[in-house]
Structure 1
Amino acid sequence: MNRSREPKKILRLSNVGIKKDFVCLRRVDGKVTNIAAGLELYTGVFNAVEQERIVDHVYELMEKGRNGELKERTYAAPRKWMKGKGRVTVQFGCYYNFATDKKGNPPGILSTEEVDPLPSLLKGLIRRLIEWAILPPSCVPDSCIVNIYDVGDCIPPHIDNHDFLRPFCTISFLSECEILFGEVLNIEGPGLFSGDFAIPLPVGSVLVLNGNGANVAKHCVPGVPSKRISITFRRMRESKRPVYYAPEPNLQGLKPVLPVD
């Protein structure tokens, strides 16, 4: 570790905004429950220069995918057959099947489908998430999905598959948008949803999903008003890891820079 950088790193860390007091009370199984418990929003995690570098790298990865320079399952650009459908995805670490496919495979990690390993720049983001105590050392991500939205693209209501451990997180780039949560999320039209509460996601922010916020409340991203990129980092459940899985040597033994209260 470069000790000369530690004071600057600690100063940056001290300027990160943290919101953990999300509350949305709903009756679940006959009991009043805060379905927002476990959600945490960190702002100012990535500055403008870092964001630009990350966005440029994502576009480089997208171009490689278009040119067939990534493994077949890594890059996907579905046909936009209706408004709100068809965002580009780039997956690393494992291949996640979003819906039951033509072979009858259910949603979840497909253990025999190979994708590219995490790029170095994305591993750098993971190190920051752990060192800045945004994610715990017990849940270091080993996979990610990069979502590249065009205007109107959305993510429909869902709860993240339990092939992935909790907590997990999503990082926002290019433009701010809202993520919508609710015990029930209603589809009002193409890319239009209604629910219990929304959280604005500023550029450079990290939203951590854990507890009820990850397991009870559904979430979705309504059709975005402008181009957006998000990177979702998750750790695979050990029993669900692909057959080709190998631990990333430089993601082992990570610890927070400062003691965690």
Structure 2
Amino acid sequence: REYGKGGKPKSKYDFMTIDEKQVEVDKIRTGIKQRCLFNDSACKEIEAKIEEVVRKAANGEYKKNTVDTAPLRNKYFFGEGYTYGSHMEARGPGMERLYPKEGEESVDPIPEWIHEMVVQPLLRAQLIPPDFINSAVINDYQPGGCIVSHIDPYHIFDRPIVTVSFFSSSALSFGCKFEFRPIRVSNPVLSVKLPRGGVTLISGFAADEITHCIRPQDTPHRRAVVILRR
């Protein structure tokens, strides 16, 4: 194992020259589009709706596969549910699968407030085409919450991947290597700010050719993200 300062693991990017890293950064940036779309008032209204989702989940009002709980992070699936991580019977990239649309494994439909308060502003801003979104996931992070380096599986999701941040700001990091017990994260090749109320779309190299993650140190406060995909 290779470690840097403070016991951080090293990724392959730590062994690149400055020029090589810049090439990677430039390729990532071509696949990132950002817009500050939701003001404080709009954020507060949407955040109140996210709190409703949390309460309904706590009261058992959703289907089993709609809600996925983990330390420091809860996920709420709407429209389409899918296997990932520990839920996968067969591990590895390409083995993820969508849940059936009907039956015990299905998830709840996308709430109307997501269509009206989140999707419609994106359509008006011409950030996504009509009828593109059929999957909405809310990730609710507690301070220190993270999501490990991954690529959203191509065989399940079209591009772009659309995220909207609420409650607080964070950062999306590319090219990190995680190690655990205790958790340690290598330096990213690029870290992109995710402001509260901001929309981030990733496609191309940024979505397909390099991993992205949320590091624990980039979640100092509670944060929720609405992930919209097809």
What TM-score bracket applies, with the shorter chain setting the length?
0.7 to 0.9
Picking from 180, 183, 187, the partner of 2:178 is 187
The answer on whether the counterparts of 2:88 and 2:96 sit within 8 Å (CA) in structure 1 is no
Q: Which has the higher helix share?
A: 2
Name whichever of 99-108 and 152-161 sits farther off.
Answer: 99-108
**Per-residue deviation at 1:59?**
1.1
Aligned length: 198
Match runs of 1:1-261 below 5 Å: 24-26=22-24, 34-43=27-36, 45-78=37-70, 80=71, 86-99=72-85, 101=87, 103-104=89-90, 106-111=95-100, 113-124=105-116, 125-137=118-130, 140-162=132-154, 163-182=156-175, 185-187=176-178, 190=183, 192-223=185-216, 224-235=219-230
Secondary structure of the equivalent of 1:200?
A: strand
- Corresponding residue for 2:12? none
Q: Deviations over 1:210-254 (max 9, x none)?
A: 11111112100001111001010000xxxxxxxxxxxxxxxxxxx
Q: How far, CA to CA, are the matches of 1:110 and 1:194 in structure 2?
A: 35
**Seq. identity, %:** 28
The answer on whether the counterparts of 1:156 and 1:220 sit within 8 Å (CA) in structure 2 is yes
Secondary structure of the equivalent of 2:226?
A: strand
Q: How far, CA to CA, are the matches of 1:116 and 1:101 in structure 2?
A: 18
Change in Cα spacing, 1:128 to 1:119, as seen in structure 2 (3 Å) is same
Q: How far, CA to CA, are the matches of 2:143 and 2:54 in structure 1?
A: 17
Q: How far, CA to CA, are the matches of 2:89 and 2:149 in structure 1?
A: 24
Change in Cα spacing, 1:225 to 1:153, as seen in structure 2 (3 Å) is same
The answer on whether the counterparts of 1:100 and 1:107 sit within 8 Å (CA) in structure 2 is no
Q: How far, CA to CA, are the matches of 2:225 and 2:119 in structure 1?
A: 14
The answer on whether the counterparts of 1:170 and 1:231 sit within 8 Å (CA) in structure 2 is yes
Change in Cα spacing, 1:63 to 1:40, as seen in structure 2 (3 Å) is same
The answer on whether the counterparts of 1:193 and 1:222 sit within 8 Å (CA) in structure 2 is no
The answer on whether the counterparts of 2:165 and 2:196 sit within 8 Å (CA) in structure 1 is yes
**Per-residue deviation at 1:34?**
1.5
Q: Deviations over 1:10-69 (max 9, x none)?
A: xxxxxxxxxxxxx95139xxxxx71332111111x1111111111111111111111110
Q: How far, CA to CA, are the matches of 1:36 and 1:108 in structure 2?
A: 29
Query: What 5-or-longer segments of structure 1 have no aligned partner?
Result: 1-22, 28-32, 81-85, 236-261
Query: What 5-or-longer segments of structure 2 have no aligned partner?
Result: 1-20
| Structure with larger RCO (C-alpha < 8 A, sep 6+) | 2
Q: How far, CA to CA, are the matches of 1:191 and 1:119 in structure 2?
A: 36
Give the letter for the 2:177 counterpart: N
